[in-house]
Amino acid sequence: MKFNFNLKYFIGVPQNVEERNLIAKNVYDPFLRILHWINALSVFSLMLTIWLKNFLKEYENWKEIIYNYHTFIAYFYVYLSRSKK
């Protein structure tokens, strides 16, 4: 998929701007898509800690299980966020 555009049609750009030679590039980036899926799954995993509470109340240490799971996923998410820079 090629992404071509003309700058004179953008909002805020005067209509008398000369057309510029733009390089057409593929927009698809597999690494970026994988990274977005990892971020989405990390957020979903953090949401699971809320939903798992009702199922884990049968165990004595259910709070510890949820806390450890939540902490592990949160640290992993922070690690991914820091490694992008």
Stretch 16-29: mean pLDDT: 61
| 3-class DSSP assignment, residue 42 | helix
What residue type is 44 in one-letter code? F
Q: How many helices (H) and strands (E) does the chain have?
A: 2, 0
Assess if residue 10 is contained within a domain.
Answer: no
Assess if residue 34 is contained within a domain.
Answer: yes
For position 16, what pLDDT does the model report? 47
Return the C-alpha torsion angle 64, 65, 70, 71, nearest 10.
Answer: 60
pLDDT tier, 9 (very low <50, low <70, confident <90, very high otherwise): low
Which of the 8 DSSP states describes residue 19? P
Residue 67 has pLDDT above 80, yes or no: yes
* Domain boundaries, position 73: 28-83
For position 75, what pLDDT does the model report? 86
User: Does the reported pTM lie above 0.75?
Assistant: no
Domain total for the chain?
1
Contact 1, 26 (CB under 8 A): yes
For position 20, what pLDDT does the model report? 54
Assess if residue 74 is contained within a domain.
Answer: yes
